[in-house]
């Protein structure tokens, strides 16, 4: 096993939605292991700039690119920008995602469309755009951020659950299509994780979640990033089409 490690020195990674939360933690985890990292962000250029500064302090090169993941042509432009800077892409993390929660009887068409276009079409956009460069590079790792909600469903999140369930089917199909080119594709499916989005939940909801989690606590973004680091590294060289739950046992 000595030939396998978590070292990403010389690797180039692109992370969508990398300016905060889980995406930021992944970017820092990769750069701490030697990878040069590009992140996309939807709105907050200041947050993205802070992430690139932190990556630079870790000794890696970084770039941030404004992009909406649902924009097909923009995805191709982002891939081209990364290739122009570094010449290749070894790792793609499709992490950009949104929620527009609501019970199905009250959910609007726009709430449905926004979530599907960002969370599911966005995966298609970047995975398709990176396929040829990775084939040319004779390998790569695509990591898609899912959710246990995509495996279990959740009341009030039919749009989000559908997008994350679709992501699993897409990833397995992509893995089968590109395995012969040494390109792997896997899903990391977090449970309840402490982020800016989840920290606004009231105390009763938080307690209910903890009670439903065998490990009895919420996870942190670094724990999700650790799973992504494993899938990006040589340690997972024989793993593709897999879903790794980082949920404290919630979906058992």
- Catalytic, 4? Answer no
8 Å CB contact between 108 and 57: no
Task: Please tell me whether residue 2 adopts helix, strand or coil conformation.
Answer: coil
Distance in angstroms (rounded) separating the CA atoms of residues 108 and 102: 9
Q: Which residues contact 21 (CB under 8 A, 6 or more apart)?
A: 195, 196, 197, 221
8 Å CB contact between 164 and 218: no
State the catalytic residue, choosing from 41, 126, 160, 192. 160
Distance in angstroms (rounded) separating the CA atoms of residues 243 and 168: 7
Distance in angstroms (rounded) separating the CA atoms of residues 187 and 184: 10
Residues marked active site are found at: 160
């Amino acid at each position: 096993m000595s030939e396998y490690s978590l070292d990403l020195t010389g690797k180039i990674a692109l992370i969508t939605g990398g300016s905060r939360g889980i995406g930021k933690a992944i970017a820092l985890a990769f750069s701490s292991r030697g990878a040069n990292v590009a992140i996309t962000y939807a709105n907050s250029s200041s947050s993205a700039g802070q992430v690139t500064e932190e990556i630079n302090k870790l000794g890696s090169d970084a770039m941030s690119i404004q992009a909406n993941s649902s924009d097909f042509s923009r995805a191709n432009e982002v891939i081209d920008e990364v290739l122009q800077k570094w010449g290749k892409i070894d790792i793609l993390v499709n992490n950009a995602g949104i929620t527009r929660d609501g019970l199905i009887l009250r959910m609007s068409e726009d709430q449905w469309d926004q979530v599907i276009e960002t969370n599911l079409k966005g995966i298609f956009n970047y995975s398709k755009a990176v396929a040829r460069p990775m084939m040319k590079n004779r390998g790569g790792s695509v990591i898609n951020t899912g959710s246990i909600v995509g495996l279990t469903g959740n009341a009030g999140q039919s749009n989000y659950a559908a997008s994350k369930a679709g992501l699993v089917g897409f990833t397995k199909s992509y893995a089968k299509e590109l395995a012969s080119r040494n390109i792997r594709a896997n899903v990391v499916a977090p449970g309840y994780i402490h982020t800016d989005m989840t920290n606004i939940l009231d105390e009763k909801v938080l307690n209910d979640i903890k009670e439903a989690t065998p490990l009895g606590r919420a996870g942190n973004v670094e724990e999700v990033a650790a799973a992504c680091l494993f899938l990006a590294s040589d340690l997972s060289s024989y793993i593709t089409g897999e879903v790794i739950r980082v949920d404290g046992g919630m979906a058992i």
